[in-house]
Each structure stands twice: as C-alpha cells, then as structure tokens.
Structure 1
C-alpha cells in the first residue's frame, strides 16, 4: 500500500505532542503511473507518425511536388522528408529501352 505521511509537532499544556496523518494514496499513484504510460505511448506514436496526407500538388511535366511553403522538390526528396519510406532508385523497362537502347 502506498501511503503519504504528514506530521507536525506542538506543545500543549507543557507537553510535546506529535500529530501524524496517514493517507492511502494507492489510487493516486496508480492513476499517475497509468497517465505517464499513456503519455509515453502517445509521444512514441507521435514520433512514429511521419506520413503523407491529403492531395499532393505534383507537376505534370517534371513530377516535382510543391511543399507547404510553396517550394518544389523532387518526389524522392519529398517522400523521404515527409514519410518513413526509404527510396531506392531503379529504371523501369520502358525507360531502360528509351534511354539505354543498347542494353
């Protein structure tokens, strides 16, 4: 059982007296622990949330994406910045034929 103790001394009719109050704080300690665990879980979740949301303004020609400040970034840079996704560059079969016809 978790308890909180408060004590105080006094002199009454020439005698020294000590007053002691004992309170059960088990519920308060349990609630505090649960609150701290919830806060930690929420902070962990918030740290993990780094997602793309909404409509992305994508240039029809160069495929750059406009960020919230109005700057245009390459798609791979934008995705890396605003999500947890890792980017691996490759060449699709169509582009391989177009740019490297001898391969």
Structure 2
C-alpha cells in the first residue's frame, strides 16, 4: 500500500450506491477488493481479503447489521472500519461508538469528505499499530533484560559470575541486578550435618 492508495472493502446492500462508491474510490486511487451486501458476508470477506479499510453501511439487510459486523471484525483483529449511514439518530450513534470505528460519514457525502475520512482513518490505524508494536517490543526487551542468560560463566573457586563485559561480580549481586531477587544465606541440612560431624564446631543456623 502506498500513502495515496488503500485496499478497501465496501459493505453496502444497495447495489447502485455500492457501484457509485466503487467508482469514486477508484478515482481517488484506491483499490476496491470486494463488495459485501450483508453483515455475515462482510465478516467473512474481511477475514479472507485482509483489506486496509472497511467502509461499512450501518443498516444492512439480514440478521447482522453493520455495527455488529464491525464489532466482530474488530474482535478478530481485522481492518479499521468507517461507518457510512443516512441516519444520525443518537441511539444508533452511541451504539456505533462501542465498536470503536475510525470514522462516521453521513449520506449524502461528497468526494472531499470521503477522501479526508479515509486518510484520517488509515493514519490513526497506522499510528495505533505502531504504538502496539513498540509496546510489545519494549515488553519483550524488558523480559529479556530481567531473565538470566542460559549459560553463566562462574568461577569454580570464588563463585563470582562474569557479566557480558567480562567484569566479575558476586553471584548474589549479579542475580539481584538482573532479576531484582535478593539472596539470603543459610545452610542446607546436608551441609549442616557434615560440618557438625567434622568436629569444627556447632555451625550457625540462619
């Protein structure tokens, strides 16, 4: 997709309007990947065609209207949706908001309005996608930093550990710096019995 072009799915149950919208989108440099007339069909086509944007009429024939179709597409991680409708009644608008659309266009609209809302929807979706990717990368980087490496270089004599730069430090300090965990020193039962049996004195329990 170039900045001036997008792959768009049209969801409109009136064929004349859908055809006119297809011609307008082509004139704007976009590619119409499909036209759906029912909500169920829109969901299926959105999954199979992976459009960059869905222009969705709210009032559709059939059991699934445009709002329900948009909610289903959103839950499936699909393309952003811009609603197109001839009605602006408050209850419908409030219900449509719950599906988190990227725009709301009232019929009849002109070419300039259509162009602007498509550009804004694509821009906001791209920014949201980039933010989510950055958040995911930061989370993964944080997890990697806090996890110990699979192989630690430990001195067999003093039990110090080498970091990535070749600096040696106490294992306790290394562990706390990498994971935040603190180490308390004590003596396991086997060592306690061994020291006690050696006659070196009563070992201190901690």
Q: Please say whether Structure 1 and Structure 2 have the same fold, judged by a TM-score greater than 0.5.
A: yes
Aligned to 2:192: 96
Deviations 1:17-48 (CA, angstroms, capped at 9, x unpaired): xxxx5412212211211211221222233223
Please tell me whether the aligned partners of residues 65 and 73 of structure 1 are also in contact (alpha carbons under 8 angstroms). yes
Aligned-partner SS, 2:166? coil
Q: Which has the higher contact order (CA 8 A, sep 6+)?
A: 1
Distance 1:102 1:47 in 2: 41
Please tell me whether the aligned partners of residues 64 and 75 of structure 1 are also in contact (alpha carbons under 8 angstroms). yes
Change (3 A) 1:48 1:65: same
How many Å apart are 1:2 and its aligned residue? 7.1
> Does 2:130 correspond to 1:51?
no
Please tell me whether the aligned partners of residues 80 and 86 of structure 1 are also in contact (alpha carbons under 8 angstroms). yes
Larger proportion of helix: 2
Please tell me whether Structure 1 or Structure 2 has the larger radius of gyration of its CA atoms: 1
Aligned to 1:69: 165
Please tell me whether the aligned partners of residues 152 and 161 of structure 2 are also in contact (alpha carbons under 8 angstroms). yes
How many Å apart are 1:94 and its aligned residue? 2.6
RMSD: 2.8
Unaligned 5+ residue runs, structure 1?
Answer: 4-20
Q: TM-score, normalised by structure 2?
A: 0.35
Aligned to 1:39: 134
In the comparison of the two structures, how many residue pairs are matched? 86
Unaligned 5+ residue runs, structure 2?
Answer: 1-102, 106-111
Distance 1:96 1:81 in 2: 29
How many Å apart are 1:86 and its aligned residue? 4.0
Please tell me whether the aligned partners of residues 192 and 203 of structure 2 are also in contact (alpha carbons under 8 angstroms). no
Larger proportion of strand: 1
